[in-house]
Structure 1
């Protein structure tokens, strides 16, 4: 199961309260990257620096500016300094000998320098990503307003500074009043492409003035460098920024595409799909199918090994599948992929620990029996739920997956809030990856700006970027690769709850949307309006399916004809979304169309996008966002998995006996043409019944640097990194 977020998430700048400085344990001046990864790295937002909230004081007397000499270049301190280097984001800075340096793995705060005595000046280094390219002074201007509510705040000076390497920076010096007297500080900014580095330094005014020369020297030494996390040179690594990182690396638990993307490089299963969507052997060397189509006998590759060198056996496969199905594991998707196997129903129900249909013949031979012949069964085994895990590792630690011992082409080298690093598995049972490392940055800004600035090698384009990038005059145009995905985005109805338990109400809401205009306005022609739920390129796709009209008049007639008698008879309607509800967003446009055409005010409710698909079934309201991309290229993975009344992914609980009958016949039909026709008939019924509102089929637009060769994007939304090589830059 691979869910997609339906609507683009706008980047929101939020305020972060910056304590006057927390206590922290000192680290080596070089940024330490050897600590253990967090099992559940939380999402990281782009922020605005916000200083300490002001104290409650009576009006202060007029604060006089401090006389501090300004120079176009900062003089060097005569005192010896220590060096702090950050190889993750790429900078170095000198700081006084009597200070300590602290790494802060809580981006945007990335480093702190100062004394632990609490009375000395303290400096915090921030890295913020902007939505536009700023100069250093403009970047600083975005932050100053957050300081203005301090008691007696007064800006003393602003100046452009030239650093030792010739880089232009900008600094503002200010003062304000606290309960213990006057304080003074400075905010220093250096802008590089979409990156804005800030250094916030504050202290009691007497202390600040006493250390002013040291502060100047520290700022003058700031220098941007090439990031080399874990000492890895950019020439040895493909560098990416996709998201905030995986939620888990347990293949049995993951249920959305972003997490599956990481898992697929570390683990593997018996079979997989190549870039042309041909089913191929993976851990399996080969397989045989019985004449009646119910028994599959797999032979595992002799050289298949876990990353620690232990051989993969048939027992490992059996354990991994039964573990995924066991209720104690907590998988909500295992039933989708294993329910065909004899005896798996009992395991899924917690009534048995082993499935009678999974038999270990010998160390390399596994025999699997399914209930009836099913043309798509092998394809289901390509899903990450069927990937093999190390039972010995699982037994040792509930968070075993934070340092997984997989079988895939890459090993996980490192994981924290800022980075996720893969290292090539040189003992991989197929051809080992050509590239030594893949670095996923987990903190960043607009991918296209990071790409243009040289921070990353590959970038997904947002819809607003695509029109500009597709301009034939834009140099970026030749670097863009379009992939038509086997995906569909739609608005789901809770068919088991009023008012969408009435199909007339559902259809009224569907006809009240001008989907053509919505998709064109949002995606500027980069997406295809969906008339059904099976995308073009999927076997069984129906090019003759009738277009869903935009007909507000008919929508009102259907609403009046419904069991609710019109808009006035409807209960309050809430729309559950993973996106943001701002002017011009998808949800905003939908709500306005329903208000205009039906006279109904639908209220949105926003859930955390990170865990949206994990909790949607329990938290859904009357309507909700949904997106689906194929796990395997078969209509069963769309129509049956999403709309059969008993399907786990039928989130809205749509139920239609005629649809169920067609889907159940298709499950056992061996003639593919007959099978595809059954799915087309089911799709027509699902659209006629308005089980959901199809919006668009997906397309991905990816910019790739010319020196990156062999990177493959599949219609299943996955990247194949095994064949990547890096040329000269």
Structure 2
């Protein structure tokens, strides 16, 4: 290594004695070590390595309730359809499909070259061809009470689940081995996108019956990778499926030989593994290494720009503060937060641009619109809320609380991951005369209190289950009131409910989006929530990784990934 190369990593002398400086020294030493070793060895097999810091509870798609489980099962299984990088529905096991004019009948024409992975559950251990029976079994399995799938809601209110379970009718029709039909009780336009969810992945009955509860750790699917070994809490290894059906420019996918998942609980330790080149991909940044790597504008600092790639993508995730519009034991009209003018004043008092720059390194977009993220909202982004202290003070005075006089203390309820933003809001609200206190509780306790209606002003977050604006607008439908649904603010508006119900069965996209815009305007007017920012996914990727795609669902799509020779 030349002296000029060493100079690139030099740090200011005084900086070395700060806490952040000590962390930076460790990173720079690792960079020097890696640079000196470069070119000494080649990686014979193409293995993609990433880390999961929370561990995995299952590899059964019927329980794919969190991102890391979704990442794992997405390598092992396929559904009828899949989403591409633009969130457009594409063929998977189904090569094409038809939707009836009524919007209630879906006919899928299956590929005839899709096979389950080789496994001892099959005759002679050889994976068999997937048929329409497997699709019917898999969808029936997630609504079977004995399965207790966290994805049963997908088909609730879409088919008559009770009659299906009682064998009184059959919504899944098998015309032949390669034609599968679903009959809904009523139209639901986003349904085709819901079928791309991991809950709907196709599994073989033989494997589920052979392994029973241990199917969670003995997955058998059709995906680009097949199960090799899983030492829980240590390592998961998936190997290339040589019989995978998808092609890329005439070449059979996947390009990788294997995928290795590590389970390093300490995220800083995992980050150091990435810096050393022992991980090919690192998702999310936090703590000291976030500020060490990124500028306030969310760019890699010069010292790191040639070490790895920073990829920032839209993410269907909105972070917000919610107002409880009533309580379970009768609405209380005396709460000042029930006054629309007070809620609007609070919203205008928050400088979201400043918040994002100083607290999130501009990773994410200030939520000056509604609750639907820009990646889905399109023309919904109207009537934007702008930071304006003068208008905020005027609204408070108009509400009968000049300079905040007469208002009780506003308690900002949050978890520790959001405490910095709560402190920022506390300071901002003081400028218009609103005194605020912060109450930080552990995540599970916070979520429970929000669901039970115990908190007047609370931190909330919504990550899309499927890419349709309806998924966000459902947060304000009165029949979805918590604890039985995601309407945590308990917002009630008859006009909104009417529009929402109309949109559920409206098969004309133009008319449906007219309803969406009207609903969005109602929410913005009444302000039951204070949207703070639309999240973005942030990934660090090694330079030798090629073809890693992402979408606004933050999917981990590895079938197209290739690894070039490490320099």
> What secondary structure sits across from 1:322 in the alignment?
helix
> What secondary structure sits across from 2:63 in the alignment?
coil
**Residue in 1 that maps onto 2:424:** 589
Question: Which of 515, 528, 534 matches 1:678?
Answer: 515
Aligned CA-pair RMSD = 3.7
**Residue in 1 that maps onto 2:12:** none
**Residue in 1 that maps onto 2:94:** 284
Conserved? CA contact 2:46–2:562, under 8 Å: no
What does 1:270-669 correspond to in 2, within 5 Å? 270-307=80-117, 308=119, 309-335=127-153, 337-339=154-156, 341-344=158-161, 352=166, 356-395=170-209, 396-415=211-230, 416-431=232-247, 432-443=253-264, 444-446=266-268, 448-460=271-283, 462=285, 464=291, 465-467=293-295, 469-471=299-301, 474-476=304-306, 479-497=309-327, 499=335, 502=338, 504=340, 506-530=343-367, 531-538=369-376, 540-551=378-389, 552-554=392-394, 556-557=396-397, 560=400, 566-568=406-408, 573=411, 575-577=413-415, 579=417, 581=419, 585-594=420-429, 597=432, 599-608=434-443, 617=451, 621-640=455-474, 642-647=475-480, 648-669=485-506
In structure 2, relative to structure 1, the CA distance for the partners of 1:425 and 1:587 (3 Å cut) is farther
In structure 2, relative to structure 1, the CA distance for the partners of 1:500 and 1:723 (3 Å cut) is farther
In structure 2, relative to structure 1, the CA distance for the partners of 1:515 and 1:672 (3 Å cut) is same
- 1:261-311 CA distance string (max 9 Å, x none): 222222221111122322111111322223433211122222223223133
In structure 2, relative to structure 1, the CA distance for the partners of 1:466 and 1:628 (3 Å cut) is farther
Conserved? CA contact 1:322–1:353, under 8 Å: no
CA distance in 1, matches of 2:453, 2:101: 46
CA distance in 2, matches of 1:333, 1:578: 28
Conserved? CA contact 1:594–1:602, under 8 Å: no
Moved more, 381-390 or 326-335: 326-335
CA distance in 2, matches of 1:322, 1:676: 32
> What secondary structure sits across from 2:213 in the alignment?
coil
**Residue in 2 that maps onto 1:64:** none
**Matched pairs, number:** 501
CA distance in 1, matches of 2:192, 2:497: 22
Structure 2: unaligned runs, 5 residues or longer: 1-21, 120-126, 248-252
How far did residue 324 of structure 1 move?
A: 1.8
Using the size of structure 2 for normalisation, the TM-score is: 0.77
Moved more, 282-291 or 644-653: 644-653
In structure 2, relative to structure 1, the CA distance for the partners of 1:472 and 1:644 (3 Å cut) is same
Structure 1: unaligned runs, 5 residues or longer: 1-129, 136-190, 196-223
How far did residue 722 of structure 1 move?
A: 0.2
How far did residue 321 of structure 1 move?
A: 2.1
In structure 2, relative to structure 1, the CA distance for the partners of 1:246 and 1:558 (3 Å cut) is farther
Using the size of structure 1 for normalisation, the TM-score is: 0.61
Larger radius of gyration: 1
**Residue in 2 that maps onto 1:220:** none
Conserved? CA contact 1:194–1:445, under 8 Å: no
Higher relative contact order (CA 8 A, sep 6+): 2
How far did residue 435 of structure 1 move?
A: 0.3
In structure 2, relative to structure 1, the CA distance for the partners of 1:461 and 1:321 (3 Å cut) is closer
How far did residue 363 of structure 1 move?
A: 3.2
- 1:514-558 CA distance string (max 9 Å, x none): 323212211233321112122223264434332244444246447
In structure 2, relative to structure 1, the CA distance for the partners of 1:393 and 1:560 (3 Å cut) is farther
CA distance in 1, matches of 2:44, 2:459: 39
> What secondary structure sits across from 1:398 in the alignment?
helix
How far did residue 718 of structure 1 move?
A: 0.9
Structure with the largest fraction of helix: 2
**Residue in 1 that maps onto 2:50:** 240
CA distance in 1, matches of 2:312, 2:190: 28
Conserved? CA contact 1:482–1:702, under 8 Å: yes
CA distance in 2, matches of 1:430, 1:461: 30
- 1:675-706 CA distance string (max 9 Å, x none): 22221121121122222111112223323222
Structure with the largest fraction of strand: 1
CA distance in 2, matches of 1:506, 1:237: 52
- 1:229-255 CA distance string (max 9 Å, x none): xxx968431111253233433333333
> What secondary structure sits across from 1:627 in the alignment?
strand
Conserved? CA contact 1:556–1:598, under 8 Å: no
In structure 2, relative to structure 1, the CA distance for the partners of 1:409 and 1:374 (3 Å cut) is same
In structure 2, relative to structure 1, the CA distance for the partners of 1:501 and 1:388 (3 Å cut) is farther
In structure 2, relative to structure 1, the CA distance for the partners of 1:616 and 1:233 (3 Å cut) is farther
CA distance in 1, matches of 2:379, 2:162: 31
How far did residue 420 of structure 1 move?
A: 2.6
How far did residue 639 of structure 1 move?
A: 1.7
Conserved? CA contact 2:339–2:399, under 8 Å: no
In structure 2, relative to structure 1, the CA distance for the partners of 1:566 and 1:261 (3 Å cut) is farther
CA distance in 2, matches of 1:704, 1:192: 17
How far did residue 591 of structure 1 move?
A: 4.0
CA distance in 2, matches of 1:503, 1:304: 58
CA distance in 2, matches of 1:316, 1:606: 44
